[in-house]
Structure 1
Amino acid sequence: MSDHYICLIPAEPDFIPGEESQAAAVALIQKTWNLEKSEITPETDTHIVFRDCGENFESVHCPHCSAEMEIGHWQALMDQSYSDENGFTISTIQTPCCSKSTTLNDLCYKWPMGFSRFVLRTVDPGYEISDYLLIELESAIGSELRVIHQMY
Structure 2
Amino acid sequence: MPQRILIAFDESPQATAALRHALSTYDDAAFHVLHVNDPREWSAADGIDGFLYSEDAFERSQESANALLEEAEEIAREYDVTIETATEVGTVTETIVNHAEEHDIDHIVLGSHGRRGLSRFLLGSVAERVAKRSPASVTIIREEKPSDE
User: What TM-score does the superposition give when structure 1 sets the normalisation length?
Assistant: 0.29
Richer in helix (by share): 2
User: What TM-score does the superposition give when structure 2 sets the normalisation length?
Assistant: 0.29
Richer in strand (by share): 1
Which structure is higher in RCO with an 8 Å CA cutoff and minimum separation 6?
Answer: 1
